Structure 1
Amino acid sequence: MRHLVWFRSDLRVADNPALFEACVNGATVSAIYIDCLEQWQSHGRSAIQRDFLSRHLQALSAELSQLGIDLTLLEVARFSDVPQCLAAWLAKHPHDALYANREIAIDERRRDKAVQAHLKNTPSIHVFNGDCVFNPGSLTTQSGDMYKVFTPFSKTWLAQLRASGFRLLPPPNAQAKPLTPRDIELKGERVSSNHWPCGERAAAQRLAQFCESHLYDYGHARDYPAVAGTSGLSPYLALGVLSPNQCLAAIEQQLGFLPMSRGEQGFAWLNELIWREFYRHLMVAFPQLSMNRAFKPDTEGLQWSQDSGAFQAWCQGQTGYPIVDAAMRCLNATGWMHNRLRMIVASFLTKDLHLSWRQGEDYFMSCLIDGELAANNGGWQWAAGTGADAAPYFRVFNPTTQGERFDGKGEFIRQWLPELADVPTKYIHSPHDWLNQHQPAHQYPAPIVDHKRARLHAIAMFDALKDNSREHLSPHELSAQQQAQAMLKELDQEVI
């Protein structure tokens, strides 16, 4: 028997259901990765993440070669080219069965359905959940619907964890003598990701170090960008170098148990893993989230600003609000942004500048090393007030008080805004009066908007939606609902 493993967003040997199952019963196993450069570009994914991906493919090739498994890189332009490419490769290299782990976004699901139709079950196709602790669609309300609010979803998720636990698969046994790994290097624009250690072992070490050093105080330390209090594991989760099951195992190993309720040590980080699962389950149940549609159909009618100058000022870190500008300059320079800062800058874009969350979502994806559709979309729609379990529309972050609260001494601000290096701590979050008096030739911009007025305007935007509500669906709501129903019907009975 010859089995083929198709790697996608699961670049690991350990806890990989598709790889593990392909390697049972003494089969001869091969592996492929299909790179679609134009598709990557059309999805707006970052050059730094592409470099991170390329490095991890090389590391995966080395790991698989030790198991006697050869990893082949196939290259096409777009997902639409994959079925024919895969069929042509299989014609030259016949296999009895194809193994893969599911992907959740709409374009990937359409690609996989096209592959299924093109191959016509020759070879046989076997698919697995390698992306979530619990398979999307398996946790539902009593009426069988996907949860639309996080808290009841998390209660059901935790109840399922108590009842069934989680399954952590070991690396498969070697299938043959070690091979010489292929050199794999992706084409296209790349920006160095060398600041991030590469490889499955490095990711596992980072996970263990985080649990040992920061798991206990994560609930407090995670909010302060000048402190290394977050896990820094999202780039590895985004590419599937780490699995959520491995994260649960690391928590359990460190604590001796899995925390199941708020207030228990380690629960704050476990809760972040549940949020990740929530957004991924939502994306499967509501595929329109992959298509730049708001989760709340009525918010499709929001009248967002079209001020391109304001958007560019936000992108470049030139808004005149220090914590916002420092966060954006950090993102531009490193491909990374602290989670508290992501919430601050997202609130600022949507509630202070009144620009669409879609612009922010796209910009983040073009910069982030951990860019991943479900989490990025979920976070942006939460901040904008358009998503599932979103922040109430009247909750608007004050960028100045957020900076005072979470970067009180201005350490993070001074790191990324050298023009404010001499500003006393007392004035660092509102530096303009001090700068005008002591450094009149300074280049730091004045605040781009007045926060108090911008907040009132943001609330009025949402109030206008309520005032315009009618008994019947609006054209915006109807269009969103029809698109969602059409996509669900299209993807019905998908196999891969």
Structure 2
Amino acid sequence: MNIVWFRRDLRCDDNPALADALRTEQPTIAVYIATPEQWKYHGMAPIQADLIYRRLFELQSELAELGVPLIYQQVGDFNSSAEWLMTLAVRTQAKTIYFNKEYELNEVVRDKQLKGLAERESVECKSFDDKCIFVPGSVVNGSGDYYKVFTPFKNACLKRLMTSGVQIEPLKVKQTNTPILDSEIEELSLDSPFDYIREPSKVYKAKRSEILGLLRTFVAEKASHYHLQRDYPFVDGTSQLSPYLAIGALSARQCVARLWYQKSVLNEGESIWLSELIWRDFYQHLLHFRPDLSRGKSFHPWGETLSWKSSKDHFERWKSGQTGYPIVDAAMRQLNATGWMHNRLRMIVASFLTKDLHIDWHLGESYFMSKLVDGDFAANNGGWQWCASTGCDGQPYFRIFNPTTQGERFDPTGDFVRHWVPELSSIAGKKVHNPSKHVNVKSLSYPEPIVDHSAERKLTLELYKLAKDNSE
């Protein structure tokens, strides 16, 4: 008997663990273990929990076509999940457990625990690198060290892609050696809900065909224009595949393979989208080399000496979209309403929180995870540290976004702001990005700016310089 343990790899296509298990031609079962206490500790967004829940039923149908039943169990945390899985392995006389690796610290510890338990029971554990285009630890510089700046990492990845491409595991045929299960072993059913709050995610796809359809449509119709449209939140110019990458309903390798399908050269838009996929790899690779990032540490040690303010009022107004800076408020309201935020806006609101409000980036990082349908620890942590200038970044700390000019540049018609901040719907064009200059915003039930950007920019430069000087 084989057991395939599904975690954040909720697909049958291009799934190394599942493919290897089915190649043995031994009876194979799949398992999913919900861990609501662990999810709460990690701050999983309720909308992402709902997408996972919906995706599990689609995965169950896809596995059934392969003759593989999906067993469901809920326990509290990761430790309990490893223990329960070993109990199942002993009960079913399974010889091998297959799973795809995760690189966050708690997940690494969990898998080491499983391997220790399995060894005592003479059960083999086979783990596979699946989450990235390239195996973490395999892309290093000439000195054998990891890359600390993105561009040389990207160039090394592109060089490998040009020579070796990517390998995709095809969907396997139905297994003929059907497993016989104990009647008390429960398969996933409508009676198997998570003990975890869920918010509706129906706007996001759960079916394999629909998710793959989104990928194919984007590559065929939008990728070539990606460089022209990706920074404008009022334009449908991004792939919006991140929710499916985050839960593993789609792999990064599938995206790369589709991008290069029947192509010899990528155009500018396609190349930049590929760079975005490589950014995801970059942050996962950093977790492999720097497990302290999973503990909330800054990539640069001087980041630990930064002085932050603790204005609860400012933080609450940032979260609710009531800062008086329209592009910031529109972005936060989009996040709160949909569980997703345009990437350009993620940078703007993160810069505003850390460098205009001087609030610790950890608080923003946690809030994002509690709301994002595409919440992924590595990408979220890397993005926040990039914006806070404490992370892996070739840019100096004096990169500070001006929220007003950012709004004027990337929402030039003001349509995005007027959609999400209807109080300002009567203000035309770019004026909507600096409304207090043109109208009495209080009469529109909209707040004045809670801080003066110019003054806060100067303070940021002083605080960051002090932190770096103190560290040295």
State the TM-score, normalizing by the size of structure 2: 0.95
User: 1:52 aligns to what?
Assistant: 51
Deviation at 1:120, TM superposition (A): 1.1
The residue matched to 1:72 in structure 2 has which SS?
strand
Equivalent residue for 1:424, pick from 410, 424, 428 = 428
**Alignment check: 8 A CA contact 2:242 2:374 kept:** yes
Equivalent residue for 1:296, pick from 292, 296, 300 = 300
Matches within 5 A, 1:303-452: 303-389=307-393, 391-436=395-440, 441-452=443-454
User: 1:490 aligns to what?
Assistant: none
| Inter-partner Cα distance in structure 1 for 2:378 and 2:409 | 29
Deviation at 1:182, TM superposition (A): 3.9
Deviation at 1:216, TM superposition (A): 0.5
2:270 is the alignment partner of 1:256: no
Deviation at 1:111, TM superposition (A): 0.5
**Alignment check: 8 A CA contact 1:225 1:340 kept:** yes
User: 1:75 aligns to what?
Assistant: 74
**Alignment check: 8 A CA contact 2:408 2:430 kept:** no
Deviation at 1:248, TM superposition (A): 0.9
**Alignment check: 8 A CA contact 1:381 1:390 kept:** no
| Inter-partner Cα distance in structure 2 for 1:341 and 1:38 | 31
User: 1:228 aligns to what?
Assistant: 236
User: 1:126 aligns to what?
Assistant: 126
Q: Output one character per residue of 1:324-365: Cα deviation in whole Å (capped at 9) or x when no partner.
A: 000000100110100000000000001100111101100000
User: 1:199 aligns to what?
Assistant: 207
Deviation at 1:164, TM superposition (A): 1.8
Alpha-carbon spacing, 1:211–1:443, altered in 2? closer, same or farther (3 Å) = same
Deviation at 1:78, TM superposition (A): 0.8
Q: Output one character per residue of 1:34-77: Cα deviation in whole Å (capped at 9) or x when no partner.
A: 11100001101100000000001111011001111000111110
Deviation at 1:25, TM superposition (A): 3.2
| Inter-partner Cα distance in structure 2 for 1:47 and 1:6 | 23
Letter in 2 for 1:67: L
Matches within 5 A, 1:477-492: none
Q: Output one character per residue of 1:244-298: Cα deviation in whole Å (capped at 9) or x when no partner.
A: 1110111112x61353xxx645101000011110000001110111111100011
Size of the alignment, in residue pairs?
463
Alpha-carbon spacing, 1:340–1:178, altered in 2? closer, same or farther (3 Å) = farther
Deviation at 1:385, TM superposition (A): 0.2
Deviation at 1:176, TM superposition (A): 3.5
Deviation at 1:177, TM superposition (A): 8.7
User: 1:219 aligns to what?
Assistant: 227
2:154 is the alignment partner of 1:154: yes
The answer for unaligned runs of 5 or more in structure 2 is 180-185
Deviation at 1:82, TM superposition (A): 2.0
Letter in 1 for 2:34: D
Letter in 1 for 2:90: A
User: 1:481 aligns to what?
Assistant: none
**Alignment check: 8 A CA contact 1:67 1:178 kept:** no
The residue matched to 1:237 in structure 2 has which SS?
helix
Deviation at 1:96, TM superposition (A): 1.1
The answer for unaligned runs of 5 or more in structure 1 is 471-496
2:211 is the alignment partner of 1:189: no
2:466 is the alignment partner of 1:459: no
The residue matched to 1:275 in structure 2 has which SS?
helix
State the TM-score, normalizing by the size of structure 1: 0.91
Alpha-carbon spacing, 1:25–1:116, altered in 2? closer, same or farther (3 Å) = closer
| Inter-partner Cα distance in structure 2 for 1:120 and 1:131 | 25
User: 2:288 aligns to what?
Assistant: 284
Letter in 1 for 2:14: D
The residue matched to 1:6 in structure 2 has which SS?
strand
Identity fraction in percent: 45
**Alignment check: 8 A CA contact 1:101 1:130 kept:** yes
Deviation at 1:429, TM superposition (A): 0.8
| Inter-partner Cα distance in structure 2 for 1:136 and 1:258 | 26
The residue matched to 1:98 in structure 2 has which SS?
strand
| Inter-partner Cα distance in structure 2 for 1:177 and 1:25 | 10
